């Protein structure tokens, strides 16, 4: 499969990043996924006080949201991580590395916040994706049924 996305790890004059691309571009329909937290399908927090368990649940929620738009992690161009402690970032990166191709990492930003909207939450991640025309047709056909 030929990718519609171009990833630039280190533009000229910019130090290469680890685990992200400085620039990603492509063509297609833009999809924004709201910040996802570690809630299961019943709205219960998964992995209270466990950043690794929360990160895995967040990526599962992102996967489901992307699928609802006819997308996958291959279509993600940008991730923004919100963590209550930067010490949680290794656990978040480990969960990320389970679902993303290390050669095609999206652009990303990580922000430490004083708190998320519920005190037991440690991680929130939002995503932006570009979906190609073929995926757009699949979603459109699914919506017509």
The share of the chain scoring above pLDDT 90, in percent, equals 79
pTM score of the predicted model = 0.86
pLDDT, residue 44, reads: 97
**pLDDT for the residue numbered 99:** 97
Does the pLDDT at position 126 exceed 70?
yes
Asked whether residue 112 carries a pLDDT value surpassing 50, the answer given is yes
Fold of 26-144: 60s Ribosomal Protein L30; Chain: A; (3.30.1330)
pLDDT tens, residue by residue, 31-89: 999 999 999 999 999 999 999 999 999 999 999 999 999 999 999 999 999 999 999 99
Contact between residue 82 and residue 127 where contact means Cβ atoms under 8 Å apart: no
Segments making up each domain of the chain, as ranges = 26-144
User: In sequence order, which ranges of 6-129 are alpha helices (DSSP H)?
Assistant: 51-68, 89-99
Q: What is the dihedral of CA 124, 89, 84, 111, to 10 degrees?
A: -70
| Whole-number pLDDT of residue 132 | 81
- Of residues 145 and 60, more confidence is placed in 60
Poorest-pLDDT segment among 10-19, 46-55, 82-91, 113-122: 10-19
pLDDT of residue 141: 45
Per-residue pLDDT at 58: 98
What pLDDT, on the 0 to 100 scale, is given for residue 16? Answer: 87
Measure Cα distances from 28 to 76, 100, 114, 134, 141 in Å.
Answer: 12, 20, 36, 10, 17
């Amino acid at each position: 499969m030929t990718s519609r996305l171009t990833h630039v790890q280190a533009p000229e004059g910019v130090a290469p990043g680890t685990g992200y691309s400085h620039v990603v571009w492509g063509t297609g329909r833009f999809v924004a996924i709201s910040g996802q937290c570690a809630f299961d399908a019943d709205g219960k927090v998964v992995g209270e006080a466990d950043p690794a368990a929360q990160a895995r649940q967040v990526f599962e929620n992102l996967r489901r949201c992307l699928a609802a738009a006819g997308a996958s992690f291959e279509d993600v161009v940008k991730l923004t991580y919100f963590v209550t402690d930067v010490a949680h970032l290794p656990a978040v990166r480990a969960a990320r590395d389970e679902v993303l191709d290390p050669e095609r990492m999206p652009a990303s930003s990580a922000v430490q916040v004083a708190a998320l909207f519920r005190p037991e939450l440690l991680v929130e991640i939002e995503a932006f994706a570009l979906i190609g025309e073929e995926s757009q047709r699949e979603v459109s056909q699914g919506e017509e049924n």
